[in-house]
Amino acid sequence: MLRIAFAAALAVLASGAAHADWQYTRWGMTPTDVLKASKGATRIVVEVKPAPGVEYPGLKGHHHTDLLAYETRFFFNDNQLARIDLLPATQTLDTADLVETKLRTRLGDPVSETVAGAGRVLEWRDEPRKNRIILQVGKDGDTDPLAVLSFTVLTDEQG
C-alpha cells in the first residue's frame, strides 16, 4: 500500500498568521509542556523511534482540519522539542501533489531540491516561525512512506 506522510502540511499552511512554530508548540518545549499545551491531543509513546541524536520520550497525537486528519509525531533532543513529523490518515498521490503545491504557494520555491533515484527532497525555510520544512518524496517498498514531511527548528547557521 502506498503511504504518504506529509499531507498534514495543509493544516500548517492553513494556520496562516498564527503565532506558533506549529499549532500549539514552540521549539524547545519539554514533553510535559507539549502534553499540557495539546490539551489532551498528544500522548507519550515508546514506539516512536527517534532519529540519531534524538532522545525519548516521543509523543504522538492527532490533528484534524476541514480537509485532512493526520497523526503527529513529536521528537525531543535533550528534553526539548526538536522535530515534528506529520503523517496523514488518507494517503494518495493526489494529496502529495496538493501539499507540494500548497507549500510552494505559501513559501515560494524551495531553497533546495535534490533528486536521487526515484526520490526527491525539498526544503523550505519559514524564518518568522523558525521552521525548517523538509519534504521527502519517494517510494521504498510497500510499507515505507511515499513521502515524509518534517518540521525542525531553523538554526542561525541555516537561515
* pLDDT at residue number 137: 75
* pLDDT at residue number 83: 87
CA distance 18 to 108: 19
CA distance 16 to 14: 5
55-64, strands of its sheet edge to edge: 42-45, 55-64, 69-77, 80-88, 147-153, 131-137, 119-126, 112-116
Measured in whole angstroms, how far is the alpha carbon of residue 141 from the centre of its chain? 21
* pLDDT at residue number 12: 40
* pLDDT at residue number 50: 60
- The pLDDT averaged over each successive group of 10 residues in the chain (159 residues) is 35 37 85 92 76 71 76 85 80 71 88 85 88 77 58 68
Place of cell 518534517: 150
- Judged by DSSP in three states, 33 sits in helix
- At a CB cut-off of 8 Å and minimum separation 6, what does 12 contact? 22, 23, 86, 151
